[in-house]
Amino acid sequence: MRTRFEPSDVERYARAIAFDALRLERGDRLFIDCEPAHRELVAALARICFAEGIEVDVHYTEPYVLRARLIEAPDELIGTDTPWERRRLRATIGPDAALLWIATEAEPGVLGDAPGDRLARHQQQRARRFRWLAKAAEVLEQKWCIVDFPTDGSAAQAYPELDLDEAHRRLFADLRSFARCGPGDPDGAWARHAEGLARLAEQLDGLDLRALRYHGPGTDLTVGLIPGARWRAGAGESPYGDVVSVNVPTEEVFTSPDRRVAEGTFTCTRPLSIYGRVIEGIHGSFARGRLQRVDCVREEDTAYLRELFATRGGDRIGEVALVDARSRIGAADRIYWSTLLDENAASHFAFGLGFVDTVLPDGDREHRRLVNRSDIHLDVMIGSPEVDVTGTDAKGREVPVLRDGAFCFG
């Protein structure tokens, strides 16, 4: 197996994932979903997990198989699953199991020429089939985490000005820095970072906001917030008592808005990389809580998104997330063409599924019903230093939240 990185660097990154993010312990089982291009990280995870008495199960995926399905298969083979796939995924739920998804694409855009309507139907049908899994993941009955690892495609996209080997090294150095396990990061840096985000969330809770307005070039969007909803950071407590970081890295604080209230226009500030497609120039408008219009640079991408947003709840907002200038990803001032990274460089919102647990368990049941329910969750980035965010509190007063890319408190 060819290696481009120092084994000790890969091992420290793997340890951050296994022990700082997923909190794995002896007797646990780690399920990994990835592509063959991620083998170097997978091997490091296997070494450290087996040494600690943790079982490892690896499922490699091949994007060209999905591409072939979308282009060649009859309609009855779109969105299907198998009994053995369901059995494996059921095994990822429980106190002694965790699922890791290494999300970086080996060849970004491999599905770019696949029919967008068929891809959207494939996602919709699979989402409906696996609603039980999404519910388990939402409350961390399935402990899960998403990470990135350099591939030829992702390194070349992130650092097109460098030769491929150096691009790999630069991207991995970035990933380690973002995960707080770089050469300048002491032990425990990730935990301290997570605690800092939790404090920001508490400060936002204290503002008692009832709406957010994003205003900047091409964007003037107001989103209603739910009374009694709380802001959260990237780490959450599972029903088993573990504090799990589901995204590594994470720089955001987020909440679920009132699905009925979204008005105005938005223009995405970063491209969206999703399911083998790279989508640029996303912009559109909302009225009375629903998406009224969406367009992209390419007509085929517009058709794909319109089909996807036709999913139950897909045309409403399920999450609003704020990211400020303290983000190491944003400070890098680089587009990574990775949703995991790019959404943590800038404020964003998500179409589709919201998080019921952002409304306190003892909150008003009617308020909990204002959280959007959907079979999709798709983040789009609308933040930049030029996009200000202003809140409206319970007394109707305007409260500056983000100015010039920085929080106005904290």
Question: What gap in Å lies between CA 250 and CA 261, rounded to an integer?
Answer: 27
Across-strand partners of 319? 350
- Cα angle, residue 312 at apex, residues 310 and 318 outer, rounded to 5°: 100
Output the six-digit token pair for 126.
């699979």
- Residue ranges of domains in the chain: 7-178, 208-230+250-407
| Model confidence band, residue 145 (pLDDT cutoffs 50, 70, 90) | very high
Give the SS3 label for residue 210.
strand
Q: Where are the beta strands (DSSP E) in 249-386?
A: 253-255, 257-267, 272-274, 277-279, 283-287, 290-295, 317-322, 348-352, 377-381
Containing 114, the helix (H) or strand (E) segment is none
Residues 6+ apart with CB under 8 A from 396: none
More confident residue, 94 or 234: 94
The per-residue pLDDT for range 288-301, each reduced to its tens digit, is 999 999 999 999 99
The yes-or-no verdict on residue 410 having pLDDT over 70 is: no
Contact 393, 399 (CB under 8 A): yes
The yes-or-no verdict on residue 37 having pLDDT over 90 is: yes
pLDDT of residue 368: 81
More confident residue, 108 or 347: 347
Across-strand partners of 60? 34
Contact 383, 347 (CB under 8 A): yes
Question: What gap in Å lies between CA 169 and CA 184, rounded to an integer?
Answer: 16
The per-residue pLDDT for range 201-237, each reduced to its tens digit, is 999 999 999 999 999 999 999 999 999 889 999 888 8
Across-strand partners of 283? 267, 295
Question: What gap in Å lies between CA 167 and CA 152, rounded to an integer?
Answer: 9
| Model confidence band, residue 148 (pLDDT cutoffs 50, 70, 90) | very high
pLDDT of residue 9: 97
pLDDT of residue 359: 84
pLDDT of residue 362: 56
Residues 6+ apart with CB under 8 A from 233: 194, 197, 198, 200, 201, 250, 252, 253
The per-residue pLDDT for range 39-57, each reduced to its tens digit, is 999 999 999 999 999 999 9
* CATH number attached to the domain at 7-178: 3.40.1830.10
Average of pLDDT values for 161-181? Answer: 97
| Model confidence band, residue 363 (pLDDT cutoffs 50, 70, 90) | low
pLDDT of residue 370: 93
